[in-house]
């Protein structure tokens, strides 16, 4: 079996991954808060952990991996959006979830095994909170229930900071009812204008952190294999999850491996609406950037390194995928995945190495290996994407002219005619590939047959 070594944020080291139960590998990933379209940064963890899901399924077998990714559909941002638009909270969350699913499918993300909505698990959250109160890890104050950070001696182990450092460096909510500034909300009261549920502490709604602890316990148990998310969630969200989960279930490990992806930039700068470089996934799709291109660009950077989205990278990805798809036969996509690919993914999801291997496969004529690898990566399904299918056009006459001009230039050392023909072909949207084996012409996405008459 493929050796798997993953970077564990908890131990700050790469460790061999051996699941608790190879017949049921379990993974939980924090999903989106559903109040608006998924932006490009939201797509990164979805794609990263989709690759991990596909890889683990390939190694351990279909049906042997349980993948949970939640939807946060109770949140103050959602409440504010409802107040601003006049729409109901349910309408907003239902619509946004549908958008998210559509956009993630467009970039090749498979549906997880379970996609729980927080509002469907309120009872489990209330039960966990009540248990924490009974065990002395939480207290009731001014209509709120708060977790007592001082009751958990390991608090701060994931982020590597002491409680004093956290207080000094974090923006914490100042509230007179808190015993410690770092104590966090498990339950808070709701007025008539926001969602609320009955509880032992009055009508209210859960805090953000408790939902993932409750849902992961109900769906995966008190100990599971991998917990993932963006590194912006490491503190306080994941730190708080660990505290409340291990206090509620002291006999369990909660998550054994913690995996965090780095953040995304656009053209070298933090994505921001004020800078004009903020894109939703739908913005890119509607502008003509294929989902496979978005996915390819994401995979070209290792998940633990900052990802810089650029128009140039998207253009290069488009060209590369067209070249690869031209070599892929629809009947080849279900073949065995080469060991080199699995070994590269086994080294902490080294997707840049995987893409490098695919270039090598093309050079070596290993097109069946290329096809099965693209399938595993979610870059091709049962057939090539429609956008990558070249127009049915005969370019052999132009290839013969360019070949003859190239041959003559090798004798005379005058390449002006080669350069002229190549420039005209490029202007007509034809990709020109010249190698020792000859000349290959492929219609590109901007192919214009009319311009060929000028060549």
Report DSSP letters for 180-207, one per residue. STT-EEEEEE--TTS--B--TT-SEEE-
Strands 269-270 and 264-266: antiparallel
Question: In the CATH scheme, what architecture does the domain 5-261 have?
Answer: 3-Layer(aba) Sandwich (3.40)
pLDDT in tens, 23-65: 999 999 999 999 999 999 999 999 999 999 999 999 999 999 9
* Lowest mean pLDDT segment, chosen from 18-22, 210-214, 265-269, 274-278: 274-278
What's the pTM value of the predicted model, to 2 decimals?
0.87
What pLDDT score does 434 carry? Answer: 85
Q: What SS3 state is found at 314?
A: helix
Give the residue carrying structure tokens 């502008």: 287
* Lowest mean pLDDT segment, chosen from 161-175, 292-306, 407-421: 161-175
Mean pLDDT along residues 273-292: 92
pLDDT in tens, 403-412: 999 999 889 9
Question: Is 330's pLDDT higher than 60?
Answer: no
Question: Is 298's pLDDT higher than 70?
Answer: yes
pLDDT in tens, 63-85: 999 999 999 999 999 999 998 99
What pLDDT score does 214 carry? Answer: 98
Contact call for residues 36 and 96 (beta carbons, < 8 A): yes
Q: How does residue 173 score in pLDDT terms, banded at 50, 70 and 90?
A: low
Contact call for residues 71 and 97 (beta carbons, < 8 A): yes
Question: Which has more confidence, 177 or 64?
Answer: 64
What pLDDT score does 326 carry? Answer: 85
* 351-363 and 367-376 helices, crossing angle to 10°: 160
| Average pLDDT score over the chain | 92
Contact call for residues 443 and 390 (beta carbons, < 8 A): yes
What pLDDT score does 170 carry? Answer: 53
pLDDT in tens, 115-154: 999 999 999 999 999 999 999 999 999 999 999 999 999 9
Q: How does residue 445 score in pLDDT terms, banded at 50, 70 and 90?
A: low
Question: Which has more confidence, 262 or 450?
Answer: 262
Residue 365: CB atoms within 10 A of its CB come to 10
pLDDT in tens, 218-253: 999 999 999 999 999 999 999 999 999 999 999 999
Report d(CA 224, CA 231) in Å as an integer.
Answer: 20
What pLDDT score does 132 carry? Answer: 98
Mean pLDDT along residues 97-123: 98
What pLDDT score does 331 carry? Answer: 56
Domain positions in the chain? 5-261, 264-388, 396-452
């Amino acid at each position: 079996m493929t050796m798997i070594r993953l970077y564990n944020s908890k131990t700050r080291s790469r460790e061999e991954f051996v699941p608790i139960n190879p017949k049921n590998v379990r993974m939980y990933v924090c999903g989106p808060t559903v109040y608006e379209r998924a932006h490009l940064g939201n797509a990164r963890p979805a794609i990263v952990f989709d690759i991990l899901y596909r890889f683990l399924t390939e190694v351990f077998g279909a049906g042997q991996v349980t993948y949970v990714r939640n939807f946060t559909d109770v949140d103050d941002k959602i409440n504010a959006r409802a107040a601003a638009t006049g729409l109901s909270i349910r309408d907003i969350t239902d619509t946004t979830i549908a958008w998210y699913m559509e956009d993630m499918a467009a970039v090749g993300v498979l549906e997880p095994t379970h996609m729980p909505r927080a509002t469907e698990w309120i009872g489990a959250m209330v039960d966990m909170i009540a248990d924490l109160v009974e065990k002395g890890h939480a207290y009731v104050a001014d209509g709120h229930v708060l977790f007592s950070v001082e009751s958990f001696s390991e608090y701060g182990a994931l982020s590597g900071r002491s409680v004093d450092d956290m207080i000094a460096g974090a923006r914490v909510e100042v509230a007179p009812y808190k015993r410690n500034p770092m104590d966090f909300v498990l339950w808070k009261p709701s007025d008539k204008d926001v969602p609320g549920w009955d509880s032992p502490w009055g009508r209210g709604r859960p805090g953000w952190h408790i939902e993932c602890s409750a849902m992961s316990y109900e769906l995966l148990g008190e100990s599971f294999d991998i917990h993932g998310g963006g590194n912006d969630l490491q503190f306080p969200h994941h730190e708080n999850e660990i505290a409340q989960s291990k206090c509620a279930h002291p006999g369990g490990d909660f998550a054994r491996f913690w995996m965090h992806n780095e953040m995304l930039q656009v053209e070298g700068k933090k994505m921001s609406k004020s800078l004009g470089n903020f894109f939703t996934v739908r913005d890119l799709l509607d502008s003509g950037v294929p989902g496979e291109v978005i996915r390819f660009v994401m995979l070209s950077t290792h998940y633990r390194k900052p990802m810089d989205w650029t128009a140039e990278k998207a253009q290069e990805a488009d060209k590369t995928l067209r070249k690869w798809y031209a070599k892929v036969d629809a009947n080849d996509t279900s073949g065995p995945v080469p060991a080199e690919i699995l070994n590269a993914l086994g080294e902490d999801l080294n997707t840049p190495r995987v893409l490098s291997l695919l270039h090598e496969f093309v050079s070596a004529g290993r097109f069946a290996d290329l096809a099965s690898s693209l399938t595993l990566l979610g870059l091709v399904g049962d057939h090539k994407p429609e956008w990558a299918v070249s127009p049915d056009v005969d370019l052999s006459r132009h290839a013969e002219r360019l070949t003859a001009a190239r041959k003559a230039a090798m004798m005379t050392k005058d390449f002006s005619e080669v350069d002229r023909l190549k420039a005209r072909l490029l202007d007509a949207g034809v990709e020109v590939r010249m190698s020792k084996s000859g000349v290959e012409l492929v219609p590109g996405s901007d192919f214009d047959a009319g311009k060929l008459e000028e060549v």
